[in-house]
Amino acid sequence: MVITGIVIPILIFIFGLCIGSFLNVCIYRLPAGKSIAFPPSHCPNCEAAIRIYDNIPVIGWLILKGRCRDCGTRISWRYPLVELLTGCFALCTCLKFGPTIEAAIYFAFIAVLIVITFIDIDHRIIPDRITLPGIPLAFAAALILPQMTWQASLLGILAGGGSLLVVAIGYTFITGKEGMGGGDIKLLALIGALCGWAGVLFTIFFGSVLGSVTGIATMRGSGQGTKLAIPFGPFLSVGTIGYIFFGPEMIHWYLSTMGK
């Protein structure tokens, strides 16, 4: 029994690592409009196909010492980082929700957020190829979650997309500048579809606080002041993941303290 109890989490973690390897492909290819299925994984510099034994998540990168076997080009440390993050989230969702369809839905959603986060960091965009089909898919998935209803999901979409849209329009009207991209608006609508209006509020609050702290620290360190543009998508993603794991409990705790 003890051995079985250890093996299953290890297998879940390994499964997450493999999914993370696929997410790396999505992060690299989606912004370029390339297929995520063909051709097989290859070095972006010399285009040599990556051998199966070199493509083992994390281990392959360590064996190669972070370099292409054929041309010696350095391979970013971010590849194993994404794989490790995905493996950890696969394990955490299973520990949090058990071996249920709920865990599978949340893990798939977190995987999408990981892809969005790194694409936004690299290119300052959140691809419509992810968010637009993702909104109806998240709405359908929300109907399977025990704590969600179609009304809550629909309200989440309206609250998510609508709230940022109002902020974006207001900022543009006051300053004459675009302060928030349409990608963030669609992302928050996607988040609302699965997490409801409460998840939207939690995400906006948490993401805004984290983004403000990070932005201030980054601007001071770079010396660029307010001219430095920082993508908001990663902070929304972190806020959403925080809600998935801790949000309902934190909201319940906050409301209980307010009632005293």
3-state secondary structure 189-232: HHHHHHHHHHHHHHHHHHHHHHHHHHHHHHHHHHCCHHHCCCCC
The confidence score (pLDDT) of residue 173 equals 63
194 exposure class (CB count in 10 Å sphere: 0-12, 13-18, 19+):
buried
The confidence score (pLDDT) of residue 221 equals 61
**Percent over 90 (pLDDT), the chain:** 59
Q: How many CA atoms lie within 13 A of 72 on its CB side?
A: 0
pLDDT category of residue 19 using cuts at 50, 70 and 90: very high
Length of the chain: 260
Closest CA to 95 of 107, 83, 85, 111: 107
The confidence score (pLDDT) of residue 30 equals 94
The confidence score (pLDDT) of residue 6 equals 84
- Chain centroid, CA 91 distance in Å: 16
Closest CA to 14 of 52, 59, 78: 59
Domain ranges of the chain: 1-99, 125-260
CA 51 to CA 155: how far, in whole Å? 47
Closest CA to 210 of 237, 184, 177: 237
**Percent over 70 (pLDDT), the chain:** 88
CB 67 within 8 A of CB 75: yes
**What is the end-to-end Cα distance of the chain in Å, rounded?**
45
pLDDT category of residue 235 using cuts at 50, 70 and 90: very high
Beta bridge partners of 252: none
Q: How many CA atoms lie within 13 A of 182 on its CB side?
A: 4
Closest CA to 215 of 89, 224, 147: 224
Closest CA to 133 of 215, 189, 199: 189
The confidence score (pLDDT) of residue 181 equals 65
Q: In 3-state terms, what secondary structure has residue 48?
A: coil
Model confidence pLDDT, tens digit, residues 151-181: 999 999 999 988 777 776 776 667 666 656 6
pTM score:
0.89
